[in-house]
Amino acid sequence: MKKTLLSLLMSGLCLAGFAQVTPPAGAVRPVVSTADEPVWYVMTSSHQTVEDRMNRYLYANGSELLTEQYSDGLDPKEAAETFLWRLEDAGDGLFYLVNAAAGLQVDRGNVTDASNQHITLSSQGTAWELVP
């Protein structure tokens, strides 16, 4: 099952103090799923205007977390597995973001506002909290 998930990752980054996020119209409340019964989403950055890098979708390239722009949006039914993500239970109301192609989780690592480092993917990623 594939659904569109808008601004989820950026919402998580906002919690860590990395971004200000206003969920766009059409954003859905995601559900946690398992590898056996996955619910897949595509994620876009929270930017709302062309000047702000609007319509940039997150994808995995090995252990790198990158974005690519799709001016007309990205249909999750047609998206490559590199663009598909699911939420996996991490306990205590937290979750991991798992990529379909890489099988890796989003990992904040030691990234801080001042570090100028990129968030990556790893086999044991960061547990995130989704705040409505």
List pLDDT tens digits, range 77-129: 778 999 999 999 999 999 999 999 999 999 988 776 666 667 889 999 999 98
For the chain, what is the domain count? 1
97 in any annotated domain: yes
Confidence at residue 121, expressed as pLDDT on a 0 to 100 scale: 93
For residue 15, what are its two tokens? 């919690």
81 in any annotated domain: yes
Distance between CA atoms of 121 and 62, rounded to whole angstroms? 8
The 3-state DSSP class for residue 52 equals helix
Dump pLDDT digits (tens) for 41-78.
888 876 666 666 677 888 999 998 888 888 777 777 77
70 in any annotated domain: yes
16 in any annotated domain: yes
pLDDT at residue 15 above 60? Answer: no
pLDDT at residue 23 above 70? Answer: no
Distance between CA atoms of 60 and 66, rounded to whole angstroms? 6
129 in any annotated domain: no
Domain that holds residue 69: 2-122
Give me the CATH number covering residue 31. Answer: 2.80.10
Distance between CA atoms of 85 and 131, rounded to whole angstroms? 18
127 in any annotated domain: no
Cβ–Cβ < 8 Å for 124, 69: no
